[in-house]
Chains A and B, each alone.
Chain A
C-alpha cells in the first residue's frame, strides 16, 4: 500500500509540474487545480511515508531509495511553505519537476524493499531524528541554492539591461524574498540537526566520518546564516547572498556524494 502510494505520487507531481510550467509559458498564474493538487500530493506523500514507517516499524528513510523519496517530500513541502510565506507562486514548476525526478528514481527501490519482511532491529531514535532533520535541512539548502542561482541569473539579466523574453512572475525582489525565507528555513532546520550531530559524534561507537558530516553541517549552518543576514540587512548585496546560497547547495551535494557514503561505510 505504502509503496503503491509512493509510486502514484510521481504522477501527481509530474502533472502539477507540467501545469505550472505550461502556465508560466503562457504567462499566466498556475491553474487552481494545480495549486490544490500540489499540496494534496504532499499530504499523500506524507501519508505514504507514514504508512511505510508503520509497516516496517522504523523511519521512512531506512534505505537510499526511501531517503530519496523523503528528500523529494521535504523539498516540495518546504517550497510550499515558502510559497505560503512569500505569496509568490510562479516558480513551482522547477521544484515539482525536481520532486518528480527524485520520487521516480526512488520508486524501484521502494517497491523492492516493500517485498522484504520487516526486521526486529530496535530503532535508534536519536539517529533517526538526526537523519530526518539532515534530510529536511538538505532539502532547505538545495531550495535556497536553486533560488540563489535563479536570483543570480535574473540579476545578470537585469544588470545587463536585457529583460526581453521575460516571463510573468519573475522579479529580482521576488527571488530575494524567496531566497531569504529559504535561508532562514535552512538555519531553523540545521540548528537541531547540528546539536544532535554533535551529541552522536561524542557518543560511544560513533561511526567514522560522522565528525566530518557534523563539521559540514556546522559550515552549512554558518553559510545559510550569513546568506540570511545579507538578504535581511543588506539586500543591496543580494548577489553575494545568492552566491553563498549556491555555495551551500554545492557543499550539500558534495556531502551527499562523498561524505555520506563514508559515514555509511564507517557504520557498517
Chain B
C-alpha cells in the first residue's frame, strides 16, 4: 500500500481554476466517503481551502495517482481536464513531505500563515468522522499537525504581520498590549479598510466601529465581519475622541490638524492613529502632538518587510524540522511494512511448534503436555524475537547490514508457506 497525493494549489492554478475545484465545507465528507466507497483506496483525506484542493489516499493500486485524480474530477465536473498542467501528482515520501510542508505554511501563498494548520486539522477531523481514515493517513495527519506546531513555536516562520492589517495589529500591540475594553475605529469601507477591519476584529475584548461616508457600506462591512457598529462620517470627531485606535483608509483627509489638536487636548489616554491612505489621510504634524502615535503606510511596510525577511530566514529551520518529522514518519511506515512478514513468520513457526508439540506429547499426561506447550512456545518466541526485532529495525532505519522483511521471507520460505 502506498501513499498518493493529487490536487491543485495556488502555485499551479490561477484563482479562476481553483474556484472551480473548491468544495463547500459541507461536501468534503460526502466526497471523501464516495471515493472511499470505490474500494481502490483504503484511506482517503481531502483538504479543500481557498488556495488548494488536495486528495490524499493510501492505496495498494499500482496507478493510484491516476485513479485518485479521476475520482476527484468525477466529483467536480467543471474542473479542467486531467491532462492539463494544473494538477500535482505525488507518491510515497514525496507526498508525505508535501503535506508536512503544507501544514508548516511553506506551501502557502503567504509564507508561514497560520490558518492552514487549522484547515489541515479540520480536514483530519472530517475524514475521521467520515470513517475514511486508516492508520497511514491518520499518522501522517498527526505528523503534519505536529510539524506545523513545531515550526510555529520553534522558528519565526509565522512571526510578524505580512499584510497591512496584521502590521496594524502589531502596532496596536506595541502601544496598548491587550485591547480589552478599548475601542477601535476604522474609517472607510473600501478594500484596504476591509482588510484592516478584518485583522482588528480579532482583537479580543475590543469594540469595533466602522465609519464611512456612505453608511450603508459601513453597515455591510460590519455585517460581513459579524461584529461592530456602523456609522457615517457625520460625528467623526466624536468617534475619534472616544477611540483608542483610529485607522484611516479613506481617499480624503477627513480630520483637519486643528480638529485633531482639539481632540488631543481633551483626552486622558494616548491615541494611536494608523494612516493607510495614499495620499495620506492625516497631517504628519499630528506626530508632534503629545500622546498621539501616528503610523503611516511607510511604517507598516517596514514592518511587513521585516516580518517577511524574518519568515524567509526561518525556512531552513522549518525544513530541518520537516526532515526530522518525515524521518520519524517514514520509520514508523517502514516498521509497519515489516509487521505482516513478522506475523507470517510467527504463524509459520507456531504451526510447526503446535504439530511437533502434539506429536511429542501424545502419550504424556495432560499436565506434562501443558508444560511442553509452554516451554516450546517460549522457545519459539525467544528464537524468533531477535530476528523479528532486527527486521523491524532494518525496515525502520534502512540500515544495509540489517535484514529486510524480504530477506526474512526468502530465508524462511514464507511466501511458499502462504501459497500452500
Q: Which residue of A lies closest to B271 (CB)?
A: A236
In the complex the two chains form, is B269's CB within 8 Å of A163's CB? no
In the complex the two chains form, is A237's CB within 8 Å of B291's CB? yes
Contact of B269 among A27, A170, A236 (CB under 8 A): A236
With contacts A172-B175, A173-B177, A235-B268 taken as known, whether A163 is within 8 angstroms of B290 at the C-beta atoms is no
Distance of A234 Cα from B173 Cα, bound (Å)? 21
Q: Which residue of B lies closest to A88 (CB)?
A: B177
Q: Does A166 contact B (CB under 8 A)?
A: yes
In the complex the two chains form, is A166's CB within 8 Å of B174's CB? yes
Contact of B287 among A159, A164, A166, A173 (CB under 8 A): A159
In the complex the two chains form, is B306's CB within 8 Å of A164's CB? yes
Q: Which residue of A lies closest to B303 (CB)?
A: A164
In the complex the two chains form, is A163's CB within 8 Å of B171's CB? yes
In the complex the two chains form, is B175's CB within 8 Å of A173's CB? yes
Q: Does A239 contact B (CB under 8 A)?
A: yes
Q: Does B90 contact A (CB under 8 A)?
A: no
Q: Does A238 contact B (CB under 8 A)?
A: yes
Q: Does B331 contact A (CB under 8 A)?
A: no
| Chain A 162-178 residues near chain B, CB threshold 8 A | 162-166, 170-174
In the complex the two chains form, is B299's CB within 8 Å of A161's CB? yes
With contacts A161-B294, A161-B295 taken as known, whether A236 is within 8 angstroms of B267 at the C-beta atoms is yes
B172-188 near A? 1/0 per residue, CB < 8 Å:
01111110000000000
Distance of A173 Cα from B171 Cα, bound (Å)? 12
Contact of B303 among A158, A163, A235 (CB under 8 A): A163
Q: Does B270 contact A (CB under 8 A)?
A: yes
In the complex the two chains form, is A165's CB within 8 Å of B306's CB? yes
In the complex the two chains form, is A239's CB within 8 Å of B290's CB? yes
Q: Does B415 contact A (CB under 8 A)?
A: no
Among B175, B267, B299, B302, max chain A CB count under 10 A is at B175
| Chain B 172-209 residues near chain A, CB threshold 8 A | 173-178
In the complex the two chains form, is A164's CB within 8 Å of B302's CB? yes
Measured CB to CB, the closest approach of chain A to B375, in angstroms, equals 52
In the complex the two chains form, is B173's CB within 8 Å of A171's CB? yes
- Tally A residues with Cβ within 8 Å of B: 23
Q: Does B219 contact A (CB under 8 A)?
A: no
Among B159, B170, B267, B290, max chain A CB count under 10 A is at B290
What residues of chain B lie closer than 8 Å to A233, measured between beta carbons? 268
With contacts A27-B159, A237-B290, A239-B290 taken as known, whether A163 is within 8 angstroms of B174 at the C-beta atoms is yes
In the complex the two chains form, is A236's CB within 8 Å of B290's CB? yes
B280-304 near A? 1/0 per residue, CB < 8 Å:
0000000100110111101100110
In the complex the two chains form, is B291's CB within 8 Å of A171's CB? no
What residues of chain B lie closer than 8 Å to A158, measured between beta carbons? 174-175, 293
Q: Which residue of A lies closest to B295 (CB)?
A: A161
Q: Which residue of A lies closest to B177 (CB)?
A: A171
What residues of chain B lie closer than 8 Å to A164, measured between beta carbons? 302-303, 306
Measured CB to CB, the closest approach of chain B to A154, in angstroms, equals 8
In the complex the two chains form, is B268's CB within 8 Å of A236's CB? yes
Distance of A141 Cα from B270 Cα, bound (Å)? 25
| Chain A 224-240 residues near chain B, CB threshold 8 A | 233-239
Distance of A161 Cα from B269 Cα, bound (Å)? 18
What residues of chain B lie closer than 8 Å to A161, measured between beta carbons? 287, 293-296, 298-299
In the complex the two chains form, is B177's CB within 8 Å of A174's CB? yes
A66-96 near B? 1/0 per residue, CB < 8 Å:
0000000000000000000000100000000
Measured CB to CB, the closest approach of chain B to A217, in angstroms, equals 31
| Chain A 197-245 residues near chain B, CB threshold 8 A | 233-239
In the complex the two chains form, is B176's CB within 8 Å of A159's CB? no
| Chain B 248-262 residues near chain A, CB threshold 8 A | none
Distance of A236 Cα from B263 Cα, bound (Å)? 12
Measured CB to CB, the closest approach of chain A to B241, in angstroms, equals 12
Q: Which residue of B lies closest to A159 (CB)?
A: B293
Q: Which residue of B lies closest to A176 (CB)?
A: B270
What residues of chain B lie closer than 8 Å to A166, measured between beta carbons? 170, 174
Distance of A173 Cα from B182 Cα, bound (Å)? 12
Distance of A166 Cα from B290 Cα, bound (Å)? 22
Contact of A172 among B174, B294, B306 (CB under 8 A): B174
Distance of A203 Cα from B9 Cα, bound (Å)? 86
Measured CB to CB, the closest approach of chain A to B307, in angstroms, equals 9
Distance of A159 Cα from B272 Cα, bound (Å)? 10
Measured CB to CB, the closest approach of chain B to A157, in angstroms, equals 8
Distance of A163 Cα from B272 Cα, bound (Å)? 14
Measured CB to CB, the closest approach of chain A to B263, in angstroms, equals 11
A-B contact pairs, 20 of them (CB 8 A): A27-B156, A154-B174, A158-B293, A159-B293, A161-B293, A161-B295, A161-B298, A163-B171, A163-B174, A164-B303, A171-B175, A171-B177, A172-B174, A173-B175, A235-B270, A236-B264, A236-B267, A236-B269, A237-B290, A238-B291
10 further A-B pairs in the complex, CB-CB below 8 A; given A172-B270, A237-B291: A27-B159, A158-B293, A161-B294, A164-B302, A170-B174, A171-B176, A173-B176, A173-B177, A235-B269, A239-B290
